[in-house]
Structures are given as structure tokens and as C-alpha cells.
Amino acid sequence: SASLGVCVYPEDGHDLDTLMRHADLAMYAAKDQGRGRWVSFTASFKAEVEAQMELESNLRRALERDEFELYYQPRLSIAEDRIIGAEALLRWHHPTRGLILPGAFIPHAEKTGLIDRIGIEVIQAAALRQKAWADAGHDISVSVNLSARQFRDPRLMIDITTIVAETGCDPKRMQVEITESTLIGDDGTTAEALKTLTGLGFSIAIDDFGTG
């Protein structure tokens, strides 16, 4: 089967480079729609690509300018009547758009690979928070979310091991949340990463259970 992107001269471009670039955008749209089909170029494809390029540029700037911040959602034990844990939730303080929730930028961060850098910063900040709470006398576990894309980073476990050593956090009070879909399939890399995490003392929780 084939996925074809179609553009027409002169409506979609006046030179070869522009025509090829626009045909390429249409071809990827054909692939996204299930492959084995043809799609004609429209101006919306170009606008979408330009928006994604701007978002990627803004994400890189956000990393450089420390625009990301963690909010902590408490977990309470009704039996003990106290807070026993907290989930680290990422927020982006955009200079013009204000507070942005992760659903608006995490998928693109995963697509571009920026999730690796963002994820390590999240883990480090959460580890420092766990250590600060422990030093203040609070027995609170801190959980962070890891995406399937992060498990494909060969440096993930090295970086996490380094973070544990440098921050002095208690891994037994740290939890990693993964989606059920991360476990689907025969991915040896993910399995080894999870073994390493539990070996360090981290607990593992499955988020969105049942949706996969």
C-alpha cells in the first residue's frame, strides 16, 4: 500500500521546494489518517506545522527560563485522618498565555523528545520536595508521572540514580506512576527500567487502569 500527498501548481506553490514541502505535509496527514490513502494539501496543514514549530520553540525557552512548576495534589488517609502522599502535577507559566495545563503541551513534548529533559527536571524537583518535607518531619510520599516515551531514553535510569544520590531523597517515599498502556506489549527496556526503579526503592503505580 502507499500513502500519497498531493499538491497542485500554482495553487499550492510556485516553486519546486514549496511544492515538495507541501506534498510532504499532505503525505504525513495521509499516514495519520490510517495510511493506504491519498490526501490533498490544504493551508490548514501549513498552519498546524507552524503552530507546532512555535510550540516547540516556546517549550525550549520554557526549559531555559525555568517556566515549569510543580503543584502537589495531596493524598489523604481517611483512616489515619492525615495527608500521606502527594502527586506532582506539572504546570507551565507561559509569559503571555498564563498557566497552561499539561494536556496542552505534554503530547508535543513527547513527540519532539523534549519530554526527556522536562521529565528529569520534574523528578529532581519532586525528589527535593520529598527531602524538604522529610527534614520538616512530614512522612509524605511523592509520586511523579513517567510517560512511555521516557522509558525509551537510555539515560533515564542513570539520571534517576544520580538524582537520588544528589538530593538525598528517600526512594522508599518516592513513587512512579505509569499508564497501563506503557505495560502493554513485550518491551524489555521498560521491564528493565521498572526493575531498576524498584531496586532503588521506588514503588510503581498504574495510572488510568482499565483504559488500555
pLDDT over 70 at 212, yes or no: no
Q: Compute the average pLDDT of residues 86-113.
A: 92
Residue 129 one-letter amino acid = R
Say how many C-beta atoms besides its own lie within 10 A of residue 124's C-beta. 19
pLDDT over 90 at 67, yes or no: yes
Residue 167 one-letter amino acid = T
Residue 119 one-letter amino acid = G
Q: Which helix (H) or strand (E) holds 9?
A: none
d(CA 151, CA 133): 28
**Residues 6+ away with beta carbon under 8 Å from 174:** 126, 127, 130, 141, 142, 143, 144, 201, 202, 203
- Per-residue pLDDT tens digits for 77-86: 999 999 999 9
Strands 38-40 and 4-6: parallel
Is 137 strand, coil or helix?
coil
d(CA 86, CA 75): 5
pLDDT over 90 at 93, yes or no: yes
What is the pLDDT at residue 139? 93
**Torsion angle, alpha carbons of 172, 177, 181, 187, to 10:** -40
Q: Compute the average pLDDT of residues 103-107.
A: 90
- Per-residue pLDDT tens digits for 109-167: 988 889 999 999 999 999 999 999 999 999 999 999 998 888 888 899 999 999 999 99
Set of cell numbers at residue 142:
511523592
d(CA 26, CA 30): 6
pLDDT-based confidence at 185, cuts 50/70/90? Answer: low
Q: Which helix (H) or strand (E) holds 198?
A: helix 188-200
Least confident stretch, 49-58, 110-119, 154-163, 172-181 = 49-58
Are 112 and 106 in contact, with CB atoms under 8 Å apart? no
